[in-house]
């Protein structure tokens, strides 16, 4: 019999251990934030290959972003160094690329087919329709119909034109492997034999095509582990559907369901606030989630700022004071909302917001205060301003990928493009360029799959500025969620009211934001933004009494200079 409490399961609690150490068959782990889902998944893989003699080549882990895949690969390299290099850790899209490269001739492609970026897609569509001006809207529409329904005539012509140019687009990366597999049972068998053990993290955000791929790769009684939290589903707008939790139970009828109830991430007030925020819209009614009490008991601070500049200044000042070891007291209750944690550095802070635009005021405030930061969204890298132009120039230069990127940027700048955007683009591309050395083709592939947050560096000693979408799966000792206003969180167009499902998704975004915090959480809103009056988020009405209003923070104890001298 296989050991069920071997060394690799030691760092897990009993529920996690039961999940990570369980044998074959379909397994569904539904659990809240910070309950160690990702940790359990990682340890499960390690346990399988080193304690159950599963060949690492048979294991496939699917994560949501390349950055998450890298992090998992690193953890596995530490846990099971001999086996880790032979595991496959992918995103749905990188897995799709891999399958397509292997099966390229079935798809009418060469082995080194390209992945069309947005500009190329528009050009192809304009060729097909002869309507350049309407291409952008047509593409958005096309993308929607292809994702949800059966492709129409235009979709077919567009796809044919892409293939003729040896191209696929981003949506093809999952849809095309699905089509190939659906057309050929022998191919299905081959991949099922290859990946006998599959685990998917962030399962709540799978969409129809991704789910179909999973069903093809895993037989109904297969060793498929799906891990997720319905209340953290934040990609409905891209076609994700929490209904796939129910489908899993139907399609993998022998699935066992495991729940994890201990939260190791957040202090009790933060967790309590999170639960109150999600309660009115929860998809997991009656769920149990207990704080393990490892992160102090500072109250959640709510700050009301006059405008977005004042809000940015509040963030910068609070970071500065926490770095100096200050304790803060709520003006109303005198209770602690900042407990003078020791040993914080810049990388322990994150500022989260609903829309990338909101970063500007924060960037200005941090810059003014001399606080270093890294800013990332969940936008696709290839579609970022500046990147597209640089990409277009890469073909004309020689040398390493980084040399090429730099020279291409010079060319773009020489044409008088906007400077800041080009420099930011180069900064974002640099880590990827370094990783790909001389391999331009690989660089192009990685780039077309990547999102900004893939280049986020967890080790950089900088404050992280992230959209709520980009912050998924991450954690920080100190978190600010800024712009908690009606119109931003929930996001809505002025004068319109969001549909019920949209509102529910906005609530889940707030839940994701709150649950990134370990020791300190600050929620802020401004009375006026971009010169217009703004109202506090309607979600605040649900937060309850673990929250304390804080005006200007009141530093107590050591000022920063004293602390520096002590060091």
Kindly list the residues in this chain that would bind ligand ATP in the complex (CB under 6 A). 12-13, 16, 31, 33-39, 229, 232, 264-265, 473, 475
Closest CA to 392 of 402, 404, 400: 404
Give yes or no for residue 473 binding Mg ion (CB under 5 A). Answer: yes
- Select the residue interacting with Mg ion from 16, 35, 38, 209 (CB under 5 A): 38
Give 535's DSSP letter. Answer: P
Determine how β-strand 262-263 pairs with β-strand 256-260.
unpaired
Least distance to Mg ion from the beta carbon of 214, Å? 18
Residue 35 vs 341, nearer CB to ligand ATP: 35
- Count of beta carbons in the 10 Å neighbourhood of residue 61: 23
Among all residues, whose Cβ is closest to ligand ATP?
36
Question: Near Mg ion by CB under 5 A, which window of 30-38, 111-119, 387-395, 554-562?
Answer: 30-38
Least distance to ligand ATP from the beta carbon of 352, Å? 13
Closest CA to 473 of 203, 81, 211: 203
Residue 13 vs 542, nearer CB to ligand ATP: 13
Give yes or no for residue 266 binding Mg ion (CB under 5 A). Answer: no
Q: Which does 229 bind (CB under 5 to 8 A by kind): ligand ATP, Mg ion, none?
A: ligand ATP
C-alpha–C-alpha distance, residues 241 and 230, integer Å: 9
Which residues have C-beta within 8 Å of that of residue 319, sequence separation ≥ 6? 346, 349, 366, 369, 371, 463, 478
C-alpha–C-alpha distance, residues 200 and 62, integer Å: 5
Q: Which does 13 bind (CB under 5 to 8 A by kind): ligand ATP, Mg ion, none?
A: ligand ATP
Question: Near Mg ion by CB under 5 A, which window of 29-37, 157-165, 170-178, 294-302?
Answer: 29-37
What percentage of the chain's residues is helix, strand, coil (to nearest 5)? 50, 20, 30
- Token pair of 386 as six digits: 């500046």
Is position 160 annotated in a ligand binding site? no
Is position 36 annotated in a ligand binding site? yes
Q: Which does 91 bind (CB under 5 to 8 A by kind): ligand ATP, Mg ion, none?
A: none
Residue 287 vs 444, nearer CB to Mg ion: 287
Least distance to ligand ATP from the beta carbon of 368, Å? 32
Residue 51 vs 201, nearer CB to ligand ATP: 201
Burial of 144 (0-12, 13-18, 19+ CB in 10 A): exposed
Least distance to ligand ATP from the beta carbon of 480, Å? 17
Is position 296 annotated in a ligand binding site? no
Least distance to Mg ion from the beta carbon of 33, Å? 8
Determine how β-strand 114-115 pairs with β-strand 167-168.
parallel
Is position 34 annotated in a ligand binding site? yes
- Residue 224 near residue 192 (C-beta atoms within 8 A): no
- Residue 41 near residue 199 (C-beta atoms within 8 A): yes
Is position 398 annotated in a ligand binding site? no
Closest CA to 542 of 515, 512, 516, 507: 507
- Token pair of 526 as six digits: 């401004």
Give yes or no for residue 515 binding Mg ion (CB under 5 A). Answer: no
Is position 33 annotated in a ligand binding site? yes
C-alpha–C-alpha distance, residues 273 and 79, integer Å: 34
Is position 35 annotated in a ligand binding site? yes
Which residues have C-beta within 8 Å of that of residue 265, sequence separation ≥ 6? 33, 34, 295, 475, 515, 517, 518
Least distance to Mg ion from the beta carbon of 199, Å? 12
Least distance to ligand ATP from the beta carbon of 201, Å? 7
Least distance to ligand ATP from the beta carbon of 260, Å? 7
Is position 276 annotated in a ligand binding site? no
Residue 477 vs 487, nearer CB to ligand ATP: 477
Q: Which residues are known binding-site members?
A: 31-38
Query: Residues marked as binding for ATP?
Result: 31-38
Interface residues with Mg ion (CB under 5 A) are 37-38, 473
């Amino acid at each position: 019999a296989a050991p069920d409490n071997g060394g690799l399961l030691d760092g897990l609690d009993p529920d996690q251990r039961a999940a990570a150490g369980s044998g074959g068959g379909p397994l569904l782990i539904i659990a809240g934030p910070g309950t160690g889902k990702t940790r359990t998944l990682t340890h499960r893989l390690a346990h399988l290959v080193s304690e159950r003699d599963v060949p690492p080549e048979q294991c496939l882990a699917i994560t949501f972003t390349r950055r998450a895949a890298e992090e998992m690969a690193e953890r596995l390299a530490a846990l099971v160094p001999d086996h880790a290099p032979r595991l496959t850790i992918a995103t749905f899209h990188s897995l799709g690329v891999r399958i397509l490269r292997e099966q390229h001739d079935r798809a009418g492609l060469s082995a080194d087919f390209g992945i069309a970026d947005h500009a190329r897609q528009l050009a192809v569509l304009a060729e097909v329709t002869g309507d350049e001006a309407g291409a952008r809207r047509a593409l958005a529409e096309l993308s929607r119909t292809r994702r949800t329904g059966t492709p129409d005539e235009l979709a077919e012509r567009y796809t044919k034109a892409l293939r003729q140019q040896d191209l696929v687009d981003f949506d093809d990366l999952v849809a095309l492997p699905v089509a190939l597999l659906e057309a050929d049972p022998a191919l299905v068998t081959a991949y099922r034999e290859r990946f006998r053990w599959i685990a998917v993290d962030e399962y709540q955000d799978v969409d129809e095509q991704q789910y179909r791929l999973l069903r093809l790769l895993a037989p109904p009684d297969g060793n498929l582990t799906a891990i997720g939290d319905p209340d953290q589903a934040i990609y409905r707008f891209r076609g994700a559907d929490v209904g796939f939790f129910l489908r899993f139970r139907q399609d993998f009828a022998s699935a066992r369901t495991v729940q994890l109830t201990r939260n190791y991430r957040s202090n009790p007030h933060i967790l309590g606030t999170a639960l109150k925020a999600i309660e009115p819209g929860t998809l997991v009614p009656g769920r149990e989630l207990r704080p393990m009490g490892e992160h102090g008991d500072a109250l959640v601070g709510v700050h009301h700022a006059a405008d977005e500049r004042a809000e940015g200044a509040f963030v910068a000042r609070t970071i500065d004071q926490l770095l100096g070891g200050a304790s803060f007291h709520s003006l109303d209750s005198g209770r602690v909302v900042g407990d003078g944690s020791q040993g914080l550095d810049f990388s322990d802070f994150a500022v989260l917001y609903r829309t990338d635009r909101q970063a500007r005021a924060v960037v200005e405030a941090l810059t003014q205060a001399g606080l270093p930061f890294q800013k990332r969204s969940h936008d696709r890298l290839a579609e970022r301003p500046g990147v597209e132009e640089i990409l277009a120039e890469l073909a004309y230069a020689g040398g390493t990928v980084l040399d090429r990127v730099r020279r291409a940027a010079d060319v773009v700048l020489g044409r008088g493009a906007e400077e800041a955007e080009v420099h930011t683009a180069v900064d974002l591309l640099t880590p990827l360029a370094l990783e790909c050395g001389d391999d331009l083709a690989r660089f192009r592939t990685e780039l077309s799959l990547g999102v900004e947050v893939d280049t986020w560096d967890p080790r950089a000693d900088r404050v992280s500025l992230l959209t709520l979408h980009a912050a998924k799966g991450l954690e920080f000792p100190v978190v600010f969620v800024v712009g908690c206003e009606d119109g931003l969180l929930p996001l809505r167009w002025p004068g319109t009211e969001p549909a019920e499902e949209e509102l529910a998704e906005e609530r889940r975004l707030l839940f994701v934001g709150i649950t990134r915090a370990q020791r300190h959480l600050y929620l802020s809103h401004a009375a006026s933004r971009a010169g217009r009056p703004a109202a506090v988020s309607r979600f605040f009405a649900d937060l309850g009494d673990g929250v304390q209003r804080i005006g200007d923070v009141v530093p107590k104890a050591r000022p920063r200079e004293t602390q520096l001298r002590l060091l």
